[in-house]
Amino acid sequence: MKTVDLRSDTVTSPSQAMRREMANAPVGDDVYGEDPTVNRLESMAAELLGKEAALFVPTGTMGNLLALLSHCGRGDEYIAGQEAHIYRWEGGGGAIFGGIQPQPIDFEEDGTLDLEKVRRVVKPADYHHPVTRLLCLENTQGGKVLPLDYLAKAAELAQGLGLSLHLDGARVFNAAVYLGVPVATIAAHFDSASVCLSKGLGAPAGTVLCASRELIGRARRWRKVAGGGMRQAGILAAAGIHALEKNLQRLTEDHENAELLAAGLGHIEELMVSQARTNILFVTPPAGSADRLRQTLATEGILLGGGDQIRLVTHLDVTGADVERTVVAFKRFFAARGN
Ligand SMILES: *Cc1c(COP(=O)(O)O)cnc(C)c1O
């Protein structure tokens, strides 16, 4: 029986076609800048995002870390959402490696940061204060797509205050496909963008950090310092190229499947179901039943995220039939006596 893994879009397995591209990739030593496949992926990514240059790194966490280290110096400060991945879920790397202090503020309901709140936490130029250098946004944020006019206003504010603007765009292609715009239209508002190839795009590993040539030059140095200088990395970059060539437009299928899942689960009285946003939705079962629900569905080969509010994520290894099977399993669980 096939496992339907809805815990995250990081769980995708490289397809046979992707594995063939990886096996056949021409490679060289990327620390010497001599891996043709990495170089090709970096130019492709830079062009797609509309930036001068790009850098291939092992993970999204490293992409964000190198952005922090390249934009900020010791004692500088960045502003990010309270639940932002770059602040909350990356071990405090900016503080550990760069002496960079975060200034978190709450996300709004729609995944944006209120620009008035941002303005209020930017420190005046006074030697009592850290120097506020950078504003970080996330798109998508928990699946939510930030509106384009909001991005324009955020960029205007950042420019007016002398801040750089970084995009944690782990899932920015989901946002672009959802809005029906080239990803460069989103990235244009940012000085740098970090984009995961290993989530819905289906590569086994890898992220590209895209920015000006100058910033990427600094990030390349920090990548080596952080231990992210890989050698024949073309084997991995080939998977990224395949992902960018083959798996972008199909993200709409993931969004459709998330909507189908939300609609199907919405009929279950006991369940609170959020709206599907791009490829992510949340369901809340009655208090005390989340663990039992998770365990029961796991025995049927359906894996759900942790916590009382359960995150469900669709991706290229989840089909329409898998969505139907999941809805049936949920219904069976709640129809059973005692659940
Ligand atoms: C997954 C993710 C990252 C980083 O991912 P890695 O697991 O380090 O590759 C960064 N930001 C967001 C919003 C993410 O979802």
- Exposed/middle/buried for residue 180 (C-beta within 10 Å: 0-12, 13-18, 19+): exposed
- Distance from the alpha carbon of residue 90 to the mean position of ligand 1, in angstroms: 8
CB neighbours of 153 closer than 8 A, spacing ≥ 6?
A: 115
- Does pLDDT of 112 surpass 90? yes
Residue 92 main-chain phi, psi, to 5 deg: 70, 30
Do the domains at 16-246 and 250-338 have one common CATH topology? no
- Does pLDDT of 44 surpass 90? yes
- Does pLDDT of 195 surpass 80? yes
Q: Is the CB of 61 under 6 A from ligand 1?
A: yes
CA 292 – CA 251 distance, rounded (Å):
31
CA 146 – CA 17 distance, rounded (Å):
33
DSSP state of 27: -
The CATH number of domain 16-246, selected from 3.40.190.170, 3.40.50.300, 3.40.640.10, 3.40.710.10: 3.40.640.10
- Class for the domain spanning 250-338: alpha beta
Q: What residues does each domain of the chain span?
A: 16-246, 250-338
Q: What is the DSSP string of 96-119?
A: HHH-PEEEEEPPPTTS---HHHHH
- pTM over 0.75? The answer is yes
Q: Give tens-digit pLDDT for 245-280.
A: 999 999 999 999 999 999 999 999 999 999 999 999
- Distance from the alpha carbon of residue 82 to the mean position of ligand 1, in angstroms: 15
CB 232 within 8 A of CB 29: yes
pLDDT on residue 234: 98
- Does pLDDT of 235 surpass 80? yes
What number of helices (H) and strands (E) belong to the chain?
A: 14, 12
- Does pLDDT of 337 surpass 90? no
From residue 53, how far is each of 191, 192, 217, 312 by CA, in Å? 11, 10, 9, 34
Q: Give tens-digit pLDDT for 302-320.
A: 999 999 999 999 999 999 9
Q: Give tens-digit pLDDT for 68-98.
A: 999 999 999 999 999 999 999 999 999 999 9
CB 183 within 8 A of CB 177: no
Q: Is the CB of 138 under 6 A from ligand 1?
A: yes
Q: Is the CB of 278 under 6 A from ligand 1?
A: no
- Distance from the alpha carbon of residue 310 to the mean position of ligand 1, in angstroms: 18
Of ligand 1's listed atoms, the one at least distance from the Cα of 84 is 13
Confidence of residue 105 (pLDDT cuts 50, 70, 90): very high
pLDDT on residue 1: 87
Count of positions (residues) in the chain: 339
Averaged pLDDT, 50-69: 98
- Per DSSP, what are the bridge partners of residue 273? 283
CA 66 – CA 194 distance, rounded (Å):
10
CA 230 – CA 328 distance, rounded (Å):
45
Which residue, 174, 217, 171, is CA-closest to 196? 171
- Does pLDDT of 111 surpass 80? yes
Structure tokens at 282: 């949340």
Q: Is the CB of 294 under 6 A from ligand 1?
A: no
